[in-house]
Amino acid sequence: MSDAAIQTILFDIDGTLLVTGGAGAVAWQRAFRELYRVDADIEEHTHAGMTDPEIAEIVFREVIGRDGTEAERTEAIGVYLSHLEDAVRESGGYRVMPGIEALLPRLAAAGTLLGIVTGNIEPAAQIKLARGGLNRFFAFGGYGSDSRDRTELTRKALERGAAVAGAAVDPATAIAVGDTPRDVAAGHGAGIRVAGVATGSYTVEQLREAGADWALNSVEDDFPA
C-alpha cells in the first residue's frame, strides 16, 4: 500500500455519506406509477451501487416487460427527479452516516480536495446531499449522468478534480470511499485506492474480500486521512 499522503478523496453518497430512508425508491415508484400505472419496487430489482441509468433499464425490462427506448428511459429519469425532492424531504429515515459531519469539515480545513463519485445523476445527488447540508463540501464529482459505468464516472470525477485544483490529480494521493464492492472495483479500475465502509449493505469482511485497501466499520474507525 502506498505511503503517499492523501490529498484527494471521492465519496460515494448512498450508504456512505448518508441514507435517504428509501426516498429514491419512493421517487422511482411514483415515476413509474405516473407514467405507466405500475408499481415498481426498486429494491426487488436492483442492487446497491447501480447507476440511475442502469436502474431505469432494469425497471423497464423486469417491471414493464420490455426494453424501454432511450427516450422513454430519459423521460422516466426526469419524472423520477421531479418526485425526488419531495420524497427526500418527507423521509423519516433520512440520516447522515456516523462520523461524516465531523470528518468533512476536518478534511476541508486540512485542504483535502473533496469530490463525489456516485451512480446518482447529478441533480439527484445534489438533492440528497442538500437535506444534510453536505453539498457545500464538494466542488466536483462523477455522476450516473456521466456514465452508467462506475469506473468511467470515477475517472470523470478525477478529471474534474484536476480542473478544480488546477493540476493533475496524482492517483497515488487519491482515494475513493464507498460501501459496496462496486465502489471498490470502480476505484481500482480508475487507478486509486479505496476505503470500504460497512455502513451500507455489506460487511467489513465482504468489503475486504472485494479488495478494499481499508475495510472499516465507519469513517470513525481509523479513517486513512
Please state the domain extents for the chain: 8-20+94-216, 23-90
Res 204: pLDDT: 98
Name the DSSP class of 170: P
Instruction: Please state which of the four CATH numbers 3.40.50.1000, 3.30.540.10, 3.40.30.10, 3.40.50.300 is assigned to the domain occupying 8-20+94-216.
Output: 3.40.50.1000
Other CB atoms within a 10 A radius of the CB of residue 133 amount to: 11
Of 107, 122, 114, 127, nearest to 27 (Cα)?
A: 127
Res 44: pLDDT: 76
Structural contact between residues 15 and 179, judged by C-beta atoms closer than 8 angstroms: yes
Res 3: pLDDT: 66
Tell me the three state secondary structure of residue 35.
helix
Grid coordinates 426494453 are at which residue?
67
Question: Most distant CA pair in the chain: distance in Å?
Answer: 55
Q: Domain 23-90: give its CATH architecture.
A: Orthogonal Bundle (1.10)
Mean pLDDT of each 10-residue bin along the chain, 225 residues long: 83 97 94 92 74 89 89 95 98 98 98 97 97 97 94 97 96 97 97 98 97 98 94
In degrees rounded to 5, what are phi and psi of residue 7?
A: -115, -20
CA 116 from chain centre, in angstroms, equals: 7
Q: Matching CATH topology for 8-20+94-216 and 23-90?
A: no
